[in-house]
Structures are given as C-alpha cells and as structure tokens.
Amino acid sequence: MDPETVCQHLFISGHVQGVYFRASLESTARTLQLAGWVRNRRDGRVEAMVQGPAAAVESLVQWCHQGPPAARVDAVQATAQPVDPTLVALHCVATA
C-alpha cells in the first residue's frame, strides 16, 4: 500500500436512512476511487469503512457531514483504522 493510503471507520447519525445516503456515499466513494463498504445500522445510523488516498478519504468524510439532499446529518464519527489490503471498490453490505 502507498504510504499516503489511510483507512477510516465512519458512523453517520441523524436522518440518514431512507434518503439514499448509502447509495450516494457509494457513488461518491467510487468517484473518488475509494475502497471499503457502507451499511445501515439497526440503530438508525449509517456505518462505513473507507480506504484510499488521504485527500480522497478526507473529501468523503467532509461529504458525509452533508450527505445527499434529503439527509439531515447530526454527527459524523471518524476513527482511523489500520490499512486493510483486502478492501476493494466500495460497495453496500447487509444491515448490522
């Protein structure tokens, strides 16, 4: 992995389900060429693991503070994680 590659574990809270947040995050992450996954949580949050160049990951984290037009984001919690070479193009996974 490139030394500039970073991985962030995200929890996004607010009105973020039923507003195409996951699909919009997936599309934005693919545009930024990020790897990882995104899913809804039963507690109403959206959770994601995103990995790629530091600047692209930071761009996605900033995007998460607003999300798609119908979303209302209350908080974004981002925690650095070790780089995971098994992560591939970002995709949606099952609710947890």
Residue 88: per-residue pLDDT: 86
Is residue 22 annotated as part of the catalytic site, yes or no? yes
| Sign of the alpha-carbon dihedral angle for 51, 55, 57, 60 | negative
Percent of the chain with pLDDT over 90: 91
pLDDT for residue 10 is more than 80: yes
Among 22, 30, 39, 42, the active-site one is 22
Among 39, 40, 41, 72, the active-site one is 40
Residue 3: per-residue pLDDT: 64
Could you tell me the pTM of the whole model? 0.94
Residue 96: per-residue pLDDT: 87
Tens of pLDDT along 20-53? 999 999 999 999 999 999 999 999 999 999 999 9
Is residue 30 annotated as part of the catalytic site, yes or no? no
pLDDT for residue 85 is more than 80: yes
